């Protein structure tokens, strides 16, 4: 393969002279052109696959409004992308193949990469198929129109052409954009995060101006914090109603008892963010609590974590028991069709995010892997946390899931084409990085599973006996 030869070319050996820089740059450019051509090929294949799936679904009697369900998710799994990303890639492919042939030709010849082709598709999304094709012909990206142009230049050219073609649609698009306002959260390095708000421009400018004025006022009064720090702190305080930003919201920080009580270095996990350092997790429960001015305590009414005598916020501990070696959570069962609150918390702690392969969206639904109406039980083994979109996709004809043995909870997802993908629950804090085969065999043995189940039942009975009367 060309890629393999390229890797060999940059690994000098004793008998082969080191390649010169000009040849390496030429090969890098050639590989980039090949990537663009392969992206164009993927677009054509995606559209062909969509047509085949729609025809098969129609033959099975799927309603017209539901034709195409699950196609984007199958493309996402094949490309190792999230289902949401797969839907966008399918939309991009349809636009390029059916409405923007000259942009597709530029992608096939390497004059545009996939990202810049996406920009052209995005900026013409508000147009009709005829107008979009006309803009595609006007811009003629396959003739080298955008050679040397940056992303902003491409966006400006596409917007200008789209507005000339149909100014009313562009204006309506701007009016509709306000309905898509939302707030999102993304992890950032070093236990930080990006809290992003997509707002109408007037509202966004007003919020920013208000935060800026308040920060300047505090700075003028002698506050030593920077303007950026003051704006961020003010945003948190005005949103949560508390100076430290910590309110009575459960965040479900997951950590080992060794990390909490013995200063162990095993990192913790914060749902919605990911892995956090052990010291930071302890500080969140102790030092940060001093400023909150609340009283700490554990779930059984014990003393607070803060031993200095200072008042700290409420800290509730919920014990999670894992199997030695594998780190698999020991479970609980329910005869109900719906997952009870305790089992939902269990699945959230185990799965962390949507269990569909490559999807890391937040958990919104608690799903029976083997459906209830087919004899599936409401247990931790047959339960999985899914996002809303993946749960709906799972109900599309041809999709199926089933649990399978594994060191941690594992399930197989099978698509209508017969392809199967595996999803294993992420390791909890304290799970060994590597496990000897002998320990793994013991952990998976029936006797060991029965012992874990018996211990879980004993703990449950003890908790009920010690529960105070109402």
pTM listed for this prediction? 0.68
pLDDT given for residue 469 in this prediction: 52
Q: Both tokens of residue 255?
A: 């950590």
Whether the CB-CB separation of 371 and 384 falls below 8 Å is answered with: no
DSSP state of 244: T
Return the number of other C-beta atoms located less than 10 Å from residue 96's C-beta. Answer: 29
Which of 10-19, 225-234, 323-332 shows the highest mean pLDDT?
A: 225-234
Return the number of other C-beta atoms located less than 10 Å from residue 74's C-beta. Answer: 25
Whether the CB-CB separation of 412 and 406 falls below 8 Å is answered with: no
pLDDT given for residue 308 in this prediction: 41
Listed range (288-292, 322-326, 451-455, 466-470) with the worst mean pLDDT: 288-292
Q: Both tokens of residue 151?
A: 């992303």
The whole-angstrom separation of Cα 467 and Cα 470 is 9
The whole-angstrom separation of Cα 46 and Cα 34 is 18
Length reported for the chain = 470
Mean pLDDT over 358-370 rounds to: 91
Nearest to 379 by CA among 350, 420, 354, 353: 350
Q: pLDDT (tens digit, 9 = 90+) per residue, 95-115?
A: 999 999 999 999 999 999 999
Nearest to 153 by CA among 164, 143, 145: 145
Residue that wins the pLDDT comparison between 248 and 168: 168
CA separation, residue 244 to residues 184, 205, 232, 253, 271 (Å): 20, 25, 11, 17, 20
Q: Is the dihedral of CA 111, 116, 119, 125 positive or negative?
A: positive
The kind and range of the H/E element at 335 are none
Mean pLDDT over 40-57 rounds to: 96
Whether the CB-CB separation of 119 and 151 falls below 8 Å is answered with: yes
CA separation, residue 326 to residues 224, 422, 444, 465 (Å): 49, 18, 9, 30
Residue that wins the pLDDT comparison between 415 and 298: 415
CA separation, residue 292 to residues 211, 242, 264, 301, 432 (Å): 23, 8, 25, 20, 35
Q: Beta strand 182-188 with 192-198: parallel, antiparallel or unpaired?
A: antiparallel
What are the φ/ψ torsions at residue 404 (nearest 5 degrees)? Answer: -145, 155
Q: No. of H helices and E strands in the chain?
A: 18, 11
Mean pLDDT over 177-184 rounds to: 88
Q: Beta strand 333-334 with 192-198: parallel, antiparallel or unpaired?
A: unpaired
CA separation, residue 386 to residues 87, 227, 342 (Å): 17, 40, 17
Tell me the three state secondary structure of residue 187.
strand
The whole-angstrom separation of Cα 208 and Cα 223 is 19
Which of 128-142, 172-186, 449-463 shows the highest mean pLDDT?
A: 128-142
Nearest to 170 by CA among 198, 132, 203: 132
Query: Which residue has 């208000």 as its token pair?
Result: 210
Angle between helical axes of 437-444 and 446-466 (0-180°, round to 10)? 60
The whole-angstrom separation of Cα 153 and Cα 280 is 44
The kind and range of the H/E element at 269 are strand 268-270
Return the number of other C-beta atoms located less than 10 Å from residue 79's C-beta. Answer: 14
Angle CA 125–126–132, to nearest 5:
65
Q: How confident is the model at residue 296 (pLDDT cuts 50, 70, 90)?
A: very low
């Amino acid at each position: 393969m060309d890629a393999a030869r390229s890797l060999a070319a940059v690994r000098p050996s004793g008998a082969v002279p080191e390649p010169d820089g000009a040849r390496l740059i030429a090969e890098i450019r050639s590989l980039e052109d090949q990537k663009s051509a392969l992206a164009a090929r993927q677009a054509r294949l995606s559209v062909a696959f969509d047509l085949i799936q729609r025809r098969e679904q129609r033959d099975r009697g799927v309603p017209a409004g539901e034709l195409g369900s699950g196609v984007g998710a199958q493309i996402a799994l094949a490309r190792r992308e999230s289902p949401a990303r797969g839907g966008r890639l399918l939309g991009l492919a349809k636009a390029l193949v059916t409405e923007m042939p000259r942009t597709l030709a530029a992608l096939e010849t390497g004059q545009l990469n996939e990202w810049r082709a996406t920009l052209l598709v995005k900026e013409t999304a508000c147009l009709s198929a005829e107008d979009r094709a006309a803009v595609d012909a006007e811009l003629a990206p396959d003739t080298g129109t955008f050679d040397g142009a940056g992303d902003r230049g491409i966006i400006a050219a596409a917007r200008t052409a789209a507005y000339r073609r149909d100014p009313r649609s562009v204006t309506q698009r701007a009016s509709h954009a306000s309905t898509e306002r939302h707030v999102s959260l993304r992890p950032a390095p070093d236990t930080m995060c990006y809290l992003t708000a997509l707002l109408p421009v007037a509202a966004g400018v007003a919020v920013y101006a208000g935060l800026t004025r308040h920060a300047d006022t505090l700075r003028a009064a002698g506050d030593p914090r920077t303007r950026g720090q003051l704006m961020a702190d003010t945003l948190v305080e005005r949103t949560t109603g508390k100076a430290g930003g910590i309110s009575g919201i459960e965040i479900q920080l997951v950590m080992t008892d060794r990390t909490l009580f013995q200063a162990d270095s095993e990192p913790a996990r914060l749902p919605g963010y990911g892995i956090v350092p052990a010291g930071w997790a302890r500080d969140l429960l102790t030092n940060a609590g001093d400023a909150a001015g609340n009283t700490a305590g554990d779930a059984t009414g014990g003393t607070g974590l803060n031993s200095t005598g200072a008042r700290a916020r409420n800290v509730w501990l919920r014990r999670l028991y894992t199997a030695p070696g594998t780190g698999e959570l020991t479970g609980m069962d329910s005869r109900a069709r719906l997952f009870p609150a305790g089992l939902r918390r269990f699945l959230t702690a185990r799965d962390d995010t949507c269990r569909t392969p490559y999807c890391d969206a937040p958990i919104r639904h608690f799903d029976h892997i083997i459906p209830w109406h087919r004899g599936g039980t409401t247990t931790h083994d047959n339960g999985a946390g899914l996002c809303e979109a993946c749960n709906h996709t799972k109900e599309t004809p041809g999709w199926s899931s089933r649990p399978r043995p594994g060191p941690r909870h594992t399930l197989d997802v099978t698509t209508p084409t017969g392809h199967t993908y595996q999803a294993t629950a992420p390791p909890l804090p304290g799970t060994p990085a590597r496990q000897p085969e002998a320990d793994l065999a013991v952990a998976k043995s029936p006797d060991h599973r029965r012992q874990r189940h018996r211990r879980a039942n004993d703990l449950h009975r003890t908790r009920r006996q010690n529960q105070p009367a109402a």
